[in-house]
Amino acid sequence: MTQLNLVLTTTGGIVLLLGLMSDYFRRRWWASDPLAALLLGVLLGPLGLGWITPRDWGVFSNDILEQVTRLTIAIGLMGIALRIPKGAVRRQWRSLLVLLGLVMPFMWFTSSLLIHLIVGLPWWQALMIGAAVTPTDPIVSTSIVSGKVAETNLPDRLRCLLSVESGINDGLAYPFMLSGVLILEKTLPRLTAPTEGNVLGYWLMHIVLIEVGGAIMFGAVAGAIAGKLLQWAERKKFIEKTSFLVYSLALSVTLLGIAKLLGTDSILAVFVAGVVYGNIISGQERSQEENVQEAIDRFFTLPVFILLGILLPWSDWVELGWRAVAIAIATLLLRRLPILLLLKSQIPTIKNWQEAAFVGWFGPMGVAAIFYATLGLRRTNIEAIWIIVSLIVTASIVAHSLSATPLTQLYGDRFAQHHGSHPKPPS
């Protein structure tokens, strides 16, 4: 009970502190909300003050972390969907096609190859772990593309591109992840495979067609219905303002549950529904929904990073030795940046190599990777997935959080030199 109260106190306290001084921390200390929460978790955990020790919780399990991260991603994705301008997905479809169809598979293959070569894991295990760190995280991305610094220095097209990509590829990482999981379940004698027969056929029909395809269809229909229902309730004056402001939160949680019950990719379904829903409701409705969703996002997402800081497997990282440093640095530098520089001419939203380098660097890993790591750990019981994913995610949060403000300001200054002013001059 004492540790529970400590968690409640620290979670509420950091939300209050960052709510009061988030802009100051971002401008002066270059500290994002996820980094501040992560460091607080480390301070409170076994490596720091030792006030919170997960082994004493008793009820804690990998399943709890998996479901907490899944809920956090769903709430965050709905918030991102509401921030995307109407028609933005349609206008940037060519860029998104390249990012999702070429860049994302490259990130998967490169991450897996690096893990295989540096850490020395078997190829199918590396493929599963590489899939977990493939998606760019919507929660960490939000801390990069939102706020005064980003809004002043980054063009809307780049902020929107990073947001939409992170929202979609979170769900599309699921079939990548399951390909490795299914192979391991078939080849490891201690595991029970979900199906007999051809793994590739099962993967294509069940995972890609039913779960991913079904998620897109269900999300689109559900988002359209939710938007039309809100408009109808407003016209009839059936809905009060207090109910209106939590509508998107209730929608994201409800769709997350229904999509899972239907056997589809629930994360992808929530994002698709959010985009369709956001394109239907009016500008005033979007503004009000976005404000309350942003506040809810912060309250739900920060505890996950605190929990991550508490649970980090420091002793396992030490056992990896030089390989821990090598895999973290190699993944950050090679997973995404080279392919963005190579394909910049094929991505209409990116205008020059500086923008390609910016988008290539800012492909952070966070809550989505944690979710897929816990999913893989539950299905295969391979501890390496948590050790390596938590290491890479921690390195990503530190590196991308500390570089976000200076690199964003540098981009804004370079933009001003060529165009006479920042993308959005400071008010």
pLDDT at 286 over 60: no
Range of the domain at 25: 2-419
Q: Cα 376 to the chain's mean position, in Å?
A: 17
Domain count, the chain: 1
Q: What pLDDT does 288 receive? A: 55
The answer to whether residues 177 and 404 touch, using CB atoms and an 8 Å cutoff, is no
Q: What pLDDT does 236 receive? A: 76
Q: In whole angstroms, give the CA distance from residue 262 to residue 366.
A: 27
Of the listed ranges 140-144, 174-178, 215-219, 347-351, the least confidently predicted one is: 140-144
Q: By C-alpha distance, which of 400, 402, 398, 394 is closest to 313? A: 394
pLDDT at 427 over 50: no
- CATH number of the domain residue 50 falls in: 1.20.1530.20
Q: What pLDDT does 80 receive? A: 82
The answer to whether residue 425 is domain-embedded is no
What are the structure tokens assigned to 369, written together?
């990777």
The answer to whether residue 297 is domain-embedded is yes
pLDDT at 158 over 60: yes
Once rounded to an integer, what is the mean pLDDT over residues 20-25? 57
pLDDT at 376 over 80: yes
pLDDT at 193 over 60: no
Residue showing tokens 């995972």: 207
The answer to whether residue 333 is domain-embedded is yes
Q: What pLDDT does 328 receive? A: 96
The answer to whether residue 426 is domain-embedded is no
Q: In whole angstroms, give the CA distance from residue 310 to residue 50.
A: 9
Identity at 27, one-letter amino acid code: R
What is the overall mean pLDDT for the chain?
A: 82
pLDDT at 362 over 80: yes
Quickly state the pLDDT bin for 10 (edges 50, 70, 90): low
Residues for the chain: how many in total?
Answer: 427
Of the listed ranges 38-47, 200-209, 284-293, 411-420, the least confidently predicted one is: 284-293
Quickly state the pLDDT bin for 391 (edges 50, 70, 90): very high
Once rounded to an integer, what is the mean pLDDT over residues 220-226? 94
Q: In whole angstroms, give the CA distance from residue 139 to residue 299.
A: 12
Of the listed ranges 211-215, 314-318, 401-405, the least confidently predicted one is: 401-405
What are the structure tokens assigned to 307, written together?
């929990």
The answer to whether residue 427 is domain-embedded is no
Identity at 394, one-letter amino acid code: T
Q: Cα 392 to the chain's mean position, in Å?
A: 14
Range ranked top by mean pLDDT from 97-101, 280-284, 307-311: 97-101
The answer to whether residue 275 is domain-embedded is yes
Once rounded to an integer, what is the mean pLDDT over residues 300-329? 90
